[in-house]
Structure 1
Amino acid sequence: MVMVRQELHGHIDHSTKIMHVITWNRSFKNLPNQDDFGGNFEIDERFETHATVLDRMLAWEKKLYDEVKAGELMKIDYQKKVALLHKQKKRGVKLETLEKTKAAVSHLHTRYIVDMQSMDSTVSEINRLRDKQLYPKLVDLVDGMANMWSSMHHHHKWQLVIISGIRNFEAPPVPRETTDQHYKQTCDLRDIVREWHMQFEKLMDHQKGYIRALNAWLKLNLIPIESNLKEKVSSPPRLVEPPIKDLLYAWHDQLERLPIELAKTAIKSFAEVISNIVLLQEEEVNLRRRCEETRRDLNRKKAQFEEWHQRYMERKASQGEDANNSEVAEAVNSDPVADRKTAIEEVEIRLREEMGHHNRIARQVREKSLANLRMHLPELFRNMTDFAGFCYEMYSNLRKSAVLPKDEVQG
C-alpha cells in the first residue's frame, strides 16, 4: 500500500526500492515436481519462499495502486457529472437531457461502488498474505537467526578457549625466516579478514534496512483507505494489532540497540594487525631477496675470478722468466690477483652484514607477530563471542514473543 498512500506525491517505483533493500537467493529445491501439479500451475503456499511471498505482495500492491488510481479518476469524473446535473436543474434544461445526465451519474456511481468492492478484495488479499504468509516467514527467519547465532556463539567461545593458549607460545631461539609461501598466506589472511569486515557490515546494514522497510510499509498498510462518497462501501475486517506489528517493532528496536560497533571494531582492528604483520614480513622478504641477490653476485664473481685466475696462471707460465722480469715493475704497483680477491672479499663482507640484518629482522618479525597475535586474537574472539551472545539473546526473545496462529502451528 506504499504506492497508494503516496499517490498525491507522485509515482514512486517501490519495487526497485524493495529490490535494493532485499537481496535473496531463490530456492525451489523443496518444491514438488511440476508433473504433480497436473494442469494446475498454482504452487502450494507451503512451498513458497520468503522471496516469492514478497513478490506476490508486491504484485497485489501494484494492483491496488492501479485500482485506487482508477477509482480517483472515476470519482473526479463522477463529481463533474454531479456538478453538471445541478447546473442543468438550475437552468431548467429539457427533461430528456436531464435524464441522460442522471443516468450517467448513476452509472458512474455504480461502477465506483463495484470498483471499491474490488479494491477491498485486493486489500483483503494483501492483509491475508501479510498475516498468513509473510508473518510466518518472518517467524521462521527469526528462528533461523536464533539458531545461527547460537552456533556462532558456541564456535567463537571455543575459538577463544583455543586461542588463549597462544599466550604460552614462545618464539623459537633460532629465527625461522618468512618464506614466500608464508608471506602469501599472511596476505591472503589479511584480505580474508578485510572481506569478513566488509561482509559483516553489509549483513548488519541489510538486516536493519529490511526491517526498517517493513516497518515503514506496515505503518502505511495499517491506514485504511476511505471513500468520501455518501454510500458506505463495506471494508474488509482489519486487525487493529496484527501479530506482525509487534514483531517488527520489537525487531527494529532491538536491532538498533545491538552493539554492532563492538564486533565491527574488533574485526577491523584485527585486519589492521594482520596488515602490520604483512608490512613486517614484506621488509623481511625484501631483505632475504637482497641477500639472495648478493649471494648470486658473490658466486658469479668467484666463478669469474677462478676462470680469470686459471688463464692468468697459464699465460704467466707460458711466458717464462722473461715475462716475469718484464712484469716486475707492474707488480710493484699493482697485483691483479690481490685486487680481484679484495673485490670478492668486499662482497662477502656485504653479504655477512645483510645476512646478519636479515636474521635480526626475522627474529623481530616473529616476536612482534606473536606479540600482536597474543594480544589481539583473544580480544577478537572475546568480542565476537559477546556479540554472538547478544544476537542469540535478541533473536531468542523475538522467537518467544512471536507466536504463530493455531492453524499455522498445526500446519
Structure 2
Amino acid sequence: ASESIRKDYDRKCHQLRHQFAKDQGTQVIDKTRAVVKDLHSRITVAIYSVDSISKRIEKMRDEELYPQLLELTDGLVRMWKAMLECHHAQYITISLAYHSRNTTGTMQGDARREIITRLLEEIELFGLSFANWINSHTSYVEALNGWLQHCILQPRERSRSRRPFSPRRALAPPIFVLCRDWCAGIKSLPSEELSDAIRNFLSDLHTLMEQENDELLKKQNSTQASMLESEVKANEDNGGESANLSCMHASLSKVLDRLTKFSEASLKMYEDIRQKSEVARTAYYNCKTIRA
C-alpha cells in the first residue's frame, strides 16, 4: 500500500510540474496541488508508522531475543562439554573391551543375531537422528541470520567496490555478530565425517548380519558331521569370528572417534561464539555511549 502511495505521489508531482510548465489554469493546478499534499501527508504517516514498528522490533530483538540466544549458546556449551566427556569415555571403553576380550564367552546362534539386529536398528536410528538434528539446527540458524538481514537497509544498487555488510566493521548490535558466527561455524563442523563413519559402521553390520544368516542357513541344510569335522569347523568359526570382531571394533572405534572430534569442534565453536559476542557487545555499547 505504501509503495502504491509513493508511486501516486511521484506521478502527481510530475503532473503538477507539467501543469506549471504549461501554465494551466489556477483551478487545475490547485486541485493537483491538494492531491499532492494529501499524498505527502499519507506518506509521512506511513513512514512514522514504519519507524515506530521498526523501533519496537529492534527493542524486542536486542532486549529479548539476544539474551535468549545467549542463554541457548551457554546451554549448548554445557551440553557439548558433557557430550565430549561421554564420547571420549566411550572410545576408551571400547578400546579396552576389545583388547581384553574373551572369545570363549562369545554368544552364538539366535542370541548373537538378536544382538546384531538390535545394534543395527539403534545405529540406523542414531544416524538418522543425527542427520535430522544437523539439518534442523542449520535451518534454524540460517533462518535467524536471514531474518536479521531484513533489519539492514541495503542500497538499491550495489557497486562492485562495495563490500558486503559486516556486523563487526559496522559495529552492529551484537546479535548480528552472534548469528553470523553461528551460521558460519555450524557449516564448518565435521558432521559429514561423522555421517560417513556411521554409514561405514552400518555397512559392516549389514555384512555381518548377512554372514550370520548364511551360516544359519548352512547349518539348517547340513547333515550331522563327524567329531573331527566339528572341531575343524569350530576352529574356522573362531578365526572368522576374530576377524569379524576386529572389523567391527575398527568401525565402531571410528564412529566414537568422530563423535569425540565433533563434540570437541562443537564445544570450541560455541565457546568462540560466546566470547566474540561478548566482545562485540562491549564494543557496540561503548560506541553508543560515545555517540550519546
Q: CA deviation at 1:155?
A: 1.0
Give yes or no for contact 1:74–1:108 (8 Å, CA) kept in 2. yes
Alignment of 1:10-409 (within 5 A): 70-165=1-96, 166-172=98-104, 177-179=108-110, 181-223=111-153, 240-290=171-221, 350-352=223-225, 356=230, 359=234, 362-364=237-239, 366-403=241-278
The amino acid that maps onto 1:184 is: E
Unaligned residue ranges in structure 2 (runs of 5+): 157-169, 283-292
C-alpha separation in 2, matches of 1:90 and 1:262: 72
Q: CA deviation at 1:159?
A: 1.2
C-alpha separation in 2, matches of 1:178 and 1:200: 32
Q: Secondary structure at the match of 1:221?
A: coil
CA 1:99/1:190 → structure 2, altered by over 3 Å: closer, same or farther? same
Q: Could you tell me the percent identity over the aligned residues?
A: 23
C-alpha separation in 1, matches of 2:189 and 2:143: 18
Q: Could you say which residue in structure 1 is the equivalent of 2:160?
A: none
Q: CA deviation at 1:362?
A: 4.8
The amino acid that maps onto 1:162 is: T
| Greater relative contact order (CA < 8 Å, ≥ 6 in sequence) | 2
CA 1:376/1:127 → structure 2, altered by over 3 Å: closer, same or farther? same
C-alpha separation in 2, matches of 1:278 and 1:209: 36
C-alpha separation in 1, matches of 2:133 and 2:77: 15
CA 1:220/1:240 → structure 2, altered by over 3 Å: closer, same or farther? farther
CA 1:96/1:176 → structure 2, altered by over 3 Å: closer, same or farther? closer
C-alpha separation in 1, matches of 2:171 and 2:34: 40
Q: CA deviation at 1:365?
A: 5.2
Q: Secondary structure at the match of 2:14?
A: helix
Give yes or no for contact 2:124–2:202 (8 Å, CA) kept in 1. yes
What RMSD, in angstroms, separates the aligned Cα atoms of the two structures? 3.0
CA 1:176/1:112 → structure 2, altered by over 3 Å: closer, same or farther? closer
C-alpha separation in 1, matches of 2:154 and 2:59: 15
C-alpha separation in 1, matches of 2:209 and 2:238: 15
The amino acid that maps onto 1:99 is: D
Q: TM-score, normalised by structure 1?
A: 0.57
Give yes or no for contact 1:281–1:365 (8 Å, CA) kept in 2. no
Q: CA deviation at 1:364?
A: 4.9
The amino acid that maps onto 2:139 is: G
Give yes or no for contact 1:176–1:363 (8 Å, CA) kept in 2. no
CA 1:225/1:110 → structure 2, altered by over 3 Å: closer, same or farther? farther
C-alpha separation in 2, matches of 1:255 and 1:212: 10
Give yes or no for contact 1:214–1:248 (8 Å, CA) kept in 2. yes
Q: CA deviation at 1:144?
A: 1.8
Q: Secondary structure at the match of 2:172?
A: coil
The amino acid that maps onto 1:103 is: A
C-alpha separation in 1, matches of 2:55 and 2:120: 53
CA 1:224/1:384 → structure 2, altered by over 3 Å: closer, same or farther? closer
- Superposed CA deviations along residues 229-258 of structure 1, whole A, max 9, x for unmatched, are xxxxxxxxxx85110121122223322332
Give yes or no for contact 2:173–2:281 (8 Å, CA) kept in 1. no
C-alpha separation in 2, matches of 1:262 and 1:224: 38
The amino acid that maps onto 2:130 is: F
Q: CA deviation at 1:90?
A: 3.6
- Which deviates more from structure 2 when the two are superposed, residues 393-402 or residues 153-162? 393-402
CA 1:128/1:358 → structure 2, altered by over 3 Å: closer, same or farther? farther
Give yes or no for contact 2:9–2:36 (8 Å, CA) kept in 1. yes
CA 1:225/1:122 → structure 2, altered by over 3 Å: closer, same or farther? farther
CA 1:358/1:288 → structure 2, altered by over 3 Å: closer, same or farther? farther
- Superposed CA deviations along residues 352-374 of structure 1, whole A, max 9, x for unmatched, are 27x94975675455323322233
Q: Secondary structure at the match of 2:104?
A: coil
Q: Secondary structure at the match of 2:153?
A: coil
Q: TM-score, normalised by structure 2?
A: 0.78
Q: Could you say which residue in structure 2 is the equivalent of 1:3?
A: none
Q: CA deviation at 1:197?
A: 1.7
